[in-house]
Amino acid sequence: MSSDVSVELLSEHSCFGGRQQFRRHQSAVTGLPMRYALFLPPRPRALLVFLAGLTCSEETFTMKAGAQRLASELGLALLMPDTSPRGAAVPGESDSWDFGLAAGFYLDATQPPWATHWRMESYLLNELLPEVQAELGLDAARTGISGHSMGGHGALTLALRHPGRFAAVSAIAPICAPVDCPWGRKAFAGYLGPDESLWARHDASRLMRAQTQPPFAGGILVDQGLADIFLLEQLQPEALEAACVAVGQPLQLRRHAGYDHGYYFIASVIDEHLRHHAALL
Ligand SMILES: N[C@@H](CCC(=O)N[C@@H](CS)C(=O)NCC(=O)O)C(=O)O
């Protein structure tokens, strides 16, 4: 258990020789209590942050992906943050499933009424991650990031926006070009306002194109199901692929016939993501 008294252990479960914990702590950044899940293998030698998608919480990946068995074997601690602040009672926060609650998009909102609490980027980078890294004695060279859908967007953009903070990156069915898709446009308009020039700073494909040299020498792994109903309109992996080609960034983009957007797909490819990170961290 964390030695930090401000971290509350909500539950703990033995799991593949390690411990699956659910925790809550008070965030100064969001001004709210925040929940997260942490899987601790018997001998943690690296840390993988996994960001979940729209409608999810810290429980979703933890309970559905089946990542703990191999993570335990590889010595990977797994950190699963929540997908937005909760409990702020911002008017309209639960009006739609793709904006507000469980739809934080891993950025800091600048627009009222979101800007006060919806600060997931600063919360993750300046608060949660340093806290967990310090507890485990693991630095950035031993930290990777991955995610699914909105969380894949989060993994790619946070790694690109914060060079040196993550030594490995991967994503499963990520939103690759949010400036050009309905989910991204709705979120960015609401959280960042009407000036679209500011949106590009949170768009993985545009951020990649702006690189002067390939940022991830170890390569990026992306898996995408071809029976994913969100593929064409929302996810657009071809935009990330083209951006990586343009800057010489190695990208392994694997397209899987028959797989949809859900956790059966994630469970089917998660082992290779864990191995990707374990090899680089
Ligand atoms: N709420 C939407 C879909 C939301 C959705 O597919 N969310 C994805 C992330 S974008 C997810 O992981 N959902 C949780 C789950 O499948 O357990 C719907 O019902 O059509």
Task: Name the pTM for this structure.
Answer: 0.97
The residue whose C-alpha atom lies closest to atom 11 belonging to ligand 1 is 53
Q: Taking Cα atoms as reference points, which of 81, 236, 228 lies closest to residue 145?
A: 81
Ligand 1 centre to CA of 190 (Å) is 20
The residue whose C-alpha atom lies closest to atom 7 belonging to ligand 1 is 54
263 lines ligand 1 (CB under 6 A): yes
The residue whose C-alpha atom lies closest to atom 20 belonging to ligand 1 is 97
Ligand 1 centre to CA of 54 (Å) is 6
CA–CA gap between residue 255 and residue 225 (Å, rounded): 6
pLDDT tens digits, 106-149: 999 999 999 999 999 999 999 999 999 999 999 999 999 999 99
- State the ipTM, two decimals: 0.93
CA–CA gap between residue 172 and residue 158 (Å, rounded): 15
Report, as an integer, the average pLDDT of 61-77.
98
CA–CA gap between residue 49 and residue 53 (Å, rounded): 13
Ligand 1 centre to CA of 198 (Å) is 27
pLDDT tens digits, 162-221: 999 999 999 999 999 999 999 999 999 999 999 999 999 999 999 999 999 999 999 999
pLDDT classification of 62: cutoffs 50, 70, 90: very high
pLDDT classification of 93: cutoffs 50, 70, 90: very high
Ligand 1 centre to CA of 52 (Å) is 10
193 lines ligand 1 (CB under 6 A): no
DSSP 208: H
pLDDT classification of 4: cutoffs 50, 70, 90: low
Residue 7 three-state SS = strand
pLDDT tens digits, 6-40: 899 999 999 999 999 999 999 999 999 999 999 99
Ligand 1 closest atom vs CA 148: 9
153 lines ligand 1 (CB under 6 A): no
Indicate the domain borders of the chain: 7-280
Q: Which of 84, 228, 273, 276 is catalytic?
A: 228
Question: Cα-Cα-Cα-Cα dihedral of 97, 263, 274, 19, to 10°?
Answer: 80
Ligand 1 centre to CA of 178 (Å) is 17
pLDDT of residue 41: 98
pLDDT tens digits, 238-262: 999 999 999 999 999 999 999 999 9
Q: Is the dihedral of CA 27, 189, 183, 199 positive or negative?
A: negative
Q: Which of 117, 153, 202, 261 is catalytic?
A: 261
pLDDT of residue 1: 46
pLDDT of residue 5: 58
pLDDT tens digits, 146-164: 999 999 999 999 999 999 9
126 lines ligand 1 (CB under 6 A): no
pLDDT of residue 50: 99
CA–CA gap between residue 16 and residue 13 (Å, rounded): 10
Ligand 1 closest atom vs CA 56: 14
CA–CA gap between residue 160 and residue 216 (Å, rounded): 9
62 lines ligand 1 (CB under 6 A): no
CA–CA gap between residue 224 and residue 266 (Å, rounded): 9
Annotation: CATH topology of 7-280: Rossmann fold (3.40.50)
